[in-house]
Structure 1
Amino acid sequence: MGAFDAIRPYDDAEVPAVLARLLADPAFLDTLTHFRFPRLAGALGWLLKPLIAYRLRREFADVHTVALLQDKLENYVDHSIEQATDGVTYAGLEHLRHGSAHLFLANHRDIVMDPAFVNYAVYHAGLPTPRVAIGDNLLQKPFVSDLMRLNKSFIVHRSISGRREKLAAYQLLSAYINHSIRDDAQSIWIAQAEGRAKDGDDRTDSAILKMFHMSRKQEPFAEVIQALRLTPVSISYEYDPCDLAKARELYIRASTGSYTKTPGEDDQSIALGITGYKGRVHVQFGTPIQQVPEDARQLALAVDQQILGNYRLFPVHYLAYAAWAEREPALPVPEAEQLFSTEELAKAKAQWQKRLDNCPAPHRPYLIGQYAMPVRNQYRVKAGLPL
């Protein structure tokens, strides 16, 4: 048994057996049936499930490597993007060195689509897709774990409660990330902080940066980080399909002091994040950090300068900022009318009003804050003000 077997993605030799297991899994087939035929799944599920399994077995019969699987999945990803976005743009790929692995550290708004859009950009640029960090809290069903690990995901154990067990889990995670980049020459995607930034405030957790160093503590912090080629990535959504649910959660937390997820809530967020309307999406790859400070907090600030500074602001962000009770009058933020055409702004105003109308009044300040926060952060970066 290998040192990383408990968390690593599946390798090529495992692909056929895992695919066969998936296509015989009743829970997986039931989920696919409800997703593909929501109105018929209840009454005709007994008929549809074997038909779906048969079709998938034929479609994936020649898939025996991870690369071939990703080639097959590309059509599904492209279709999803066409259906749920008004287009995806990406920039900064010239910063990536061909033949070198990178540690992509990204802001986190959507459970599945954040790494999917990074993969989309890298794949279409002809570069190898990264291995993707995913929390074990999202892998409650065995078929979900199989699906994710087939698609180059590795597991971050977040459900462990004991201090010693947590330390061992993060030590293993650190060793795996370093091994992937230094030995396997395979890039890594990981979020800048645990959990999605539901309030729109994209900040790097210095504990994540310290974790990268944990398995190589005998070496200087700056040298370890530099060897990983840490590259900040900004993922910008014009509209967040989960924005109303996030506003509700923030309201409940503010009102009661806590929030407890209902069973299946993560599954609903994943489905809505994949299928919900996002408007335009932009992925900006920053420059790999060369001058690495020895202090993790200073490094977090350097990462934030890029992630926040490179975030693509759409008209809705400026509309929200203008209505935000916490906006900062001293910041030189222009009006939306100064930046966007009349036609583009009219479309944004209609979509924004629709979202406001669908949001209960007590939740609206939290909805507005989600879209306004990136404006404040970016203009603070531009003005050289502390974040």
Structure 2
Amino acid sequence: MDQFHDIRPYNDDEVVGVLHNLVDTPDFINTIVGFRFAGWPKLLQAPLAFAVKLALKRQVAGIKNVHDFQMRVAGYMDRMIKTTTSDVEYRGIEKLEKGVGYLFLSNHRDIAMDPAFVNYGLYLAGLDTVRIAIGDNLLRRPFVSDLMRLNKSFIVKRSANGIREMMAAFGQLSSYITHSLTQDQSNIWIAQKEGRAKDGLDQTDQALIKMLYMSQKKEKLSFSEAMANLKIVPVSISYEYDPCAFDKARELYEKSTTGNYEKAEFEDIDSIKNGIVGQKGKVVVTFGDVLKDGIETPEALVAEVDRQVITNYAIQASNEAALAIQQGKPSTDSAFSTYLESCPEELRDTVVAMYANPLKQQQKYLNKE
């Protein structure tokens, strides 16, 4: 019995069948048409859908396993990096060893691109790609779930109802992560807290750390031993420009002015699309140091992850310019000033704070040390 069948990524022997089903899914085909041919006359919808379906059938014909699928994704990543970034830099990746399963505990700015950039760095370094934790709130359309699970994503059941169901979901998730790391020697990527840090302030959720401990606690391992087994590596991802910044600011602005924000049904899917195709400027991914044995409590572990994520965060010209603006000084970066001009006026203070906060947070930590 496969105890993880409903949350795990697809296995090699499932890939061909899932791809064939995807190509025969009208919702998937129509979404691609809407994305690639936005603005085209509706009367062309049917012939475009037919053409897309034929093209996809040709593309997936040579994909027989997960590795084949990810090599196709790597090709798209190459293209995306060339068209939407000015530079991508990896720091600290040389500290990682082949054949070791690491738990990459990452800050969270972009739904799809955060783990994608981590994955791409590992791929370039000749290391195994990650199994990616993704919330079931993003999987309301079945084809999205299939695509994610083909790309080594596993499901976090955030929509579980009631304490008993929630605890069962957390227990299964904890067991799956521990099994992946210690038995399969597979890498895992998971965000340090649920949801993106829309205000630019990075902080680890202690509940996440307690969930990671659940499965090993049953085996009577101490917290310190259990966390050492997971080989946790804090990861800091820094974007010079966030393609979803204005949308995040709109959400924060509405919450602060009206006390409420109602997401559109497929808003998260739009965020994924905008994060992929939007301009990012320079991107820096920094891998911290593996957390060693000797961290005795969830509070201490949270403190260490936060310290590494915040102090390793690569400060961009946009962060410095935003802080200067907040302090009433001239902007230190003309590109950021031009960028702000395209932002709705009522959102500018929120956007400036979003970019200034990582630098302010880092300065606080460095002043403590």
TM over 0.5: yes
Equivalent runs, 1:284-299 vs 2, <5 Å: 284-299=286-301
Per-residue deviation, 1:208: 0.8
Per-residue deviation, 1:353: 2.0
Partners in 1 of 2:284 and 2:17 — Cα distance? 36
Partners in 2 of 1:296 and 1:284 — Cα distance? 23
Contact map agreement 1:170 1:211 (CA 8 A) in 2:
yes
Partners in 2 of 1:264 and 1:103 — Cα distance? 30
User: Given the two structures, how large is their TM-score scaled by the length of structure 2?
Assistant: 0.96
Equivalent runs, 1:1-387 vs 2, <5 Å: 1-40=1-40, 42-217=42-217, 218-324=220-326, 348-349=333-334, 351-384=335-368
Tell me the amino acid that sits aligned with residue 106 of structure 1.
S
Tell me the amino acid that sits aligned with residue 290 of structure 2.
P
Q: What root-mean-square deviation, in Å, do the aligned CA atoms of Structure 1 and Structure 2 show?
A: 1.7
Partners in 2 of 1:197 and 1:227 — Cα distance? 28
Per-residue deviation, 1:324: 2.2
Contact map agreement 1:199 1:369 (CA 8 A) in 2:
yes
Contact map agreement 1:292 1:299 (CA 8 A) in 2:
no
What stretches of structure 1 of length at least 5 have no aligned partner?
Answer: 328-334, 338-344
Contact map agreement 2:240 2:316 (CA 8 A) in 1:
yes
Q: Describe the shift of the 1:292–1:135 C-alpha distance in structure 2 as closer, same or farther (beyond 3 A).
A: farther
Q: Describe the shift of the 1:179–1:369 C-alpha distance in structure 2 as closer, same or farther (beyond 3 A).
A: same
Per-residue deviation, 1:269: 1.0
Contact map agreement 1:130 1:186 (CA 8 A) in 2:
yes
Partners in 1 of 2:276 and 2:43 — Cα distance? 25
Q: Show CA shifts across 1:140-167 (max 9, x none).
A: 0010000000000000011123111111
Per-residue deviation, 1:40: 2.6
Contact map agreement 1:234 1:307 (CA 8 A) in 2:
yes
What stretches of structure 2 of length at least 5 have no aligned partner?
Answer: none
Q: Show CA shifts across 1:327-348 (max 9, x none).
A: 9xxxxxxx999xxxxxxx6xx4
SS of 1:280 mapped into structure 2 = strand
Give the stretch that moved more between structures: 253-262 or 26-35. 253-262
Per-residue deviation, 1:39: 2.8
* Equivalences, count: 367
SS of 1:108 mapped into structure 2 = coil
Partners in 1 of 2:330 and 2:152 — Cα distance? 40
Q: Describe the shift of the 1:54–1:203 C-alpha distance in structure 2 as closer, same or farther (beyond 3 A).
A: same
Contact map agreement 1:321 1:372 (CA 8 A) in 2:
yes
Partners in 1 of 2:65 and 2:203 — Cα distance? 36
Partner of 1:331: none
Tell me the amino acid that sits aligned with residue 144 of structure 1.
V
Tell me the amino acid that sits aligned with residue 102 of structure 1.
Y
Q: Describe the shift of the 1:168–1:336 C-alpha distance in structure 2 as closer, same or farther (beyond 3 A).
A: farther
Per-residue deviation, 1:22: 0.5
Partners in 1 of 2:41 and 2:316 — Cα distance? 38
Q: Show CA shifts across 1:129-186 (max 9, x none).
A: 0100000000000100000000000000111231111111111100000000111111
Tell me the amino acid that sits aligned with residue 118 of structure 1.
V
Partners in 1 of 2:249 and 2:216 — Cα distance? 40
Per-residue deviation, 1:54: 1.5
Partners in 1 of 2:120 and 2:59 — Cα distance? 21
Tell me the amino acid that sits aligned with residue 139 of structure 1.
L
Contact map agreement 2:225 2:293 (CA 8 A) in 1:
no
Partners in 1 of 2:98 and 2:160 — Cα distance? 37
Per-residue deviation, 1:360: 3.1
Give the stretch that moved more between structures: 231-240 or 355-364. 355-364
Contact map agreement 1:107 1:233 (CA 8 A) in 2:
yes
